[in-house]
A and B are shown apart, each in its own frame.
Chain A
Amino acid sequence: MNEEQKLMSQEVQEQGRYLYCVGKAPTYLHNFGKIGLEGNEVYIISAGKFCAVVHDCKAEPYKSNNEQKVKKWIQTHQKVIDIATRRLGTVIPFSFDVIIKGQCPNDEVIHWLKTEEDNLKQKLDTIEGKQEFGIQIFFDQELLRQQIMNENTQIQKLQQELKKASKGKAYFLEQKIKTIVQKELEAKTNFYFKDFYGQIRECADHLKVEKIKKVNTLLNFSCLVEKEKVKKLGAALDRINKFPFSVKFTGPWPAYSFV
């Protein structure tokens, strides 16, 4: 075989193991059936204390421009983790599309599980018996601005002045009003953020402040909560979920944000 042929045969020989999650190594062998991406057979590779839930794949990532296809992959990824959780207990979830590759990929998985055992134990201890929840609290900024304009006495006075002011003075008065409204809005926002943070923090074992992506979002949290405490969290959110705030409460998720 010449160099090129050798290289080609090597590429052909490399295979992958698509990783869904890591859990405690079970006492019984587990085969989950053809529930994986593209109907692949999902099974377990164990080493030491832990096991990886996998399916066999090519040594390349799943990639597509087809929305429906990708959506299905993502939902399947999550579904497999759900089923694994039912059979193995709390698991450490992987991101979508993490693949271990090699000529003997099973060996690679085993090697990785053994090398990472302490790290995995630490992570699993943190999340054991807990679930992740997403909390977003929305508020209507425009409405709050209106409320401030109507209630603030300083602004009332300025608005009276505005009625009789010349064009030049009017502009400056309007700017002054805008500044006061902005300051008030920020003060209120800070106040409510701290208040809600406190209430939610009490009900969670761990809390992560996430980036705000949508307009009119006051806060975006990921929380790790023991199963018995979820009701308490729900009750706190019910108290918060009153005009002008609205709450979005999602989950339970595997502990993606805490690993």
Chain B
Amino acid sequence: MEPTRETHATFVDLLDRVLDKGLIIHADVIISVAGIPLIGVNLKAALAGMETMLEYGMMEDWDKAQRLRAQEKVKEEAILLKA
């Protein structure tokens, strides 16, 4: 298997590295991105393309909603059983 890095799919991997990793400097003379969201999550997701929105935590909201609905369903069924 050969590694790739020039495709649309691998741009996400580049983003992960270039925005969140690399050498960190702690000094007054530095203006640095580290810890400061100069690029917001939404822009990050937009850069990576729609299909990878899920990678950047947008899945969490959907998942939460699904789980909430599942919990409601369980409660409903429990009530039905008692009846």
Contacts and interface: CB of A to CB of B under 8 A. Distances in A.
Interface of A: 16, 21-22, 59-63, 65, 67, 70-71, 74-75, 77-78, 92-102, 108, 112, 123, 132-134, 167-168, 171, 210, 213-215, 230, 234-235, 237-238, 241, 247-253, 256-257, 259
Interface in B49-66: 52, 54-57, 59
Nearest to A259: B23
Interface string B24-57: 1101011111100011000100110000101111
B55 A99 contact: no
Contacts of B39: 70
Chain A residues touching B, majority SS: mixed
Contact of B22 (A93, A168, A252): A93
A257 B38 contact: no
Contacts of B4: 249-251
B30 A99 contact: yes
B31 A99 contact: yes
A215 B18 contact: no
Contacts of B2: 234, 249
Contacts of A96: 18-19, 22, 33
Which among B19, B24, B32, B77 has the greatest number of chain A C-beta atoms within 10 A? B32
B49 to A, nearest CB: 10
B29 A101 contact: yes
Contacts of A22: 23
B18 A70 contact: no
Contacts of A21: 23
Contacts of B11: 71
A213 B31 contact: no
A235 B1 CA distance: 6
A99 B13 CA distance: 23
Given A70-B39, A241-B1, A95 B19 contact: yes
A134 B11 CA distance: 12
14 contacts: A21-B23, A60-B31, A62-B38, A71-B11, A74-B15, A78-B14, A94-B23, A96-B22, A97-B33, A123-B23, A213-B56, A215-B59, A251-B4, A252-B5
A100 B26 CA distance: 11
Contacts of A77: 18
Which among B13, B17, B47 has the greatest number of chain A C-beta atoms within 10 A? B17
Given A63-B38, A78-B14, A95 B3 contact: no
Given A96-B22, A214-B59, A250-B4, 9 more contacts: A59-B31, A75-B14, A78-B18, A94-B22, A96-B18, A123-B23, A234-B1, A247-B1, A249-B1
A27 B9 CA distance: 39
Which among A100, A213, A215 has the greatest number of chain B C-beta atoms within 10 A? A213
Contacts of B16: 134, 210
